[in-house]
Structure formats: C-alpha cells, structure tokens
Amino acid sequence: MTTPLRNQRTLAAPCSVSGFGYWSGRDVTVELRPAGPSTGIAFVRTDLEPARRIPATVRQRIEQPRRTTLAAGGAQVEMVEHILAALFGLGIDNCEVRASASEMPGLDGSCQPLVEAIQAAGIVEQPAPRARLIVTDVTRVGNDDCWVEARPTKSNSLSLKYRLDYGNESPIGRQTIELTVTPQSFASELSAARTFILQEEADWLKSRGLGTRVTNKDLLVFDDTGPIDNEPRFENECVRHKALDLVGDLALAGCDLVGQIIAHKSGHRLNAELVRMLLVEGRLEEGLRRTA
C-alpha cells in the first residue's frame, strides 16, 4: 500500500547564524527565512547588486574540491552542504537562505548551530504535498575504491550506511555508521559531527593561502596520534560527518527519497552523480496529498 505524501514544511520564523568561511576566512551572516509552498531551497547573495538567487538543485552544482558549490546567474555559493543537510535532515522543504558572502560559515565544523537555530525558530506545515522519489533499482556510481549506491527498500524511509577507510596506520582508521534518517536521528546522531582533515592536508592548504583563519579548535585536525588540541564528540565522529555531508548532497534532489544509500569512501562529486542518476531512474511521486 502506497503511503500518502506528507505535507511540505518551512520555518515558522526567520533565524540566522554568523561566522567565517573556512576556505576564504571571510566573515559571513546567513539568514534562513520561511518560503512559500513548492519554492524549494534557494540561496540569495545579498552582498551583490542586484541580489542573485541560486536554487539548491543538483543542476546548479559545479565541481570544486572538498565542498559543494552551486552557481547561477554569474554568482555562486560555496560550502552549502551543512546548511542543506540541516534543512533536509529536519524535513524543511522551502526556505530562502540569504548570505552576505559567497562562502557559508564553518561555525564549529558541524551543522549543530544551524539545527539549534532552526529548532528555536520552529517548523510549520504547508498545504501542498512534498514530492517523493522512490528508488526502484540498484544504482551505483564510482569505482572499486570509492563508490555510492542506492537500493530499493521495503520501508517508506531513507536509510544510510557509510563506510570510511583510512587504513590501519591512520588514527582515523575504519569507521562505519548506519541509520534511518529522521529529524530526530539527524539532530541527535549526525548534526554535531564536525569536519575533519589530516594535518598534512591542512598544512598544504595553508601553504596556498587557504584556511589560514581556521584553528585546531574549529574542526578536527588529525596528526599521527589523533585530533590535535581537540576531543572527539563521538568515537566515530569522522564517519558521522561523512554521512552528514551525504545528507546535504542528497538534498539536491529537491524531494524526499525512499531507499537505502550505501557509500564507501564517497565524496561530494559521487554523491551528486548518484542524485542525478536517481532523478532519471527513480519513480517520482508528486500528486498524493496527505489526508490525515
């Protein structure tokens, strides 16, 4: 029996967060505003004249290393995955994200501050059905070393399984997480997981003038013995953050997803490639309004 589509949701009131971009070091304020039914998630660059609107869809994604970047109308927004993860994870479908710079704030390396701001603002239902894409076949992208795939499921939910493998010699090692994505599980299990990087990677980026404002307190920087000047929030915090990023990239589908997503060392590029394939191969349901 087909489960009726749920109603769309938006914020009950505006909320905002401020910080600086990890790559650029620029200060930025982001305001999340309620938006009308079926308008989706869109970023607005308020620092440009005129302001530029960039829809949060996989069609707008452009390739940049280690982050998700969207572009439209000659403007772009970078590091959007944490904002998209917070919105998608909490089940918010329509929102205008107004940003005062191109790069979103890194905050504490996680999206927990965003989740807390959204929860404080409140969430309301809207009188329109939320489209749902159902995975009907096994769809896989990547190679033998790094891949992500979607599988059909008998449940009416989205579940994730992510395997991270840095090898036995790395302090990160091998980590796995598996969960069904709900607003409750996202807030408690994924939202607080922080960005991580190896010390040699961080040193390489700073030598090229990137990330110079970021300290070991802003994210997890690993040397040979573990995090430097920081303590993990979870034993497997790194894989939890990779799952958080995956949720943010799946948000680019612009609809609910029903299926099981399994990832092995996947990153933003492969995650987006999977979304593109699912939009072609999955079954999209748009017209079943919730009757309860």
Helix (H/G/I), strand (E/B), else coil: 208: coil
Name the residue among 63, 109, 58, 108 with its Cα closest to residue 88: 58
How far is CA 271 from each of CA 162, 184, 186, rounded to the nearest angstrom?
Answer: 12, 23, 18
Q: Which residues of the chain form beta strands (DSSP E)? A: 7-11, 15-20, 27-34, 41-45, 52-55, 61-64, 67-72, 75-77, 95-99, 123-129, 132-134, 139-142, 147-151, 158-165, 174-180, 196-198, 220-223, 226-227, 256-264, 283-285
How far is CA 207 from each of CA 23, 200, 203, 215, 267, rounded to the nearest angstrom?
Answer: 12, 11, 6, 14, 24
> Count of alpha carbons within 13 Å of 237, Cβ hemisphere only?
22
Is 268 annotated in the active site?
yes
Query: In the numeric block, which tokens belong to residue 225?
Result: 């013995």
Q: What are phi and psi of 70, to 5 degrees?
A: -120, 150
H-type helices in the chain, by residue range?
Answer: 81-89, 112-121, 183-185, 199-207, 237-250, 268-281
How far is CA 247 from each of CA 115, 162, 212, rounded to the nearest angstrom?
Answer: 14, 11, 28
One-letter amino acid at 141 equals: V
Buried b (16+ CB within 10 A) or exposed e, 19-41: bbbbbbeeebebbbbbbebebbb
Please list the active-site residues: 268
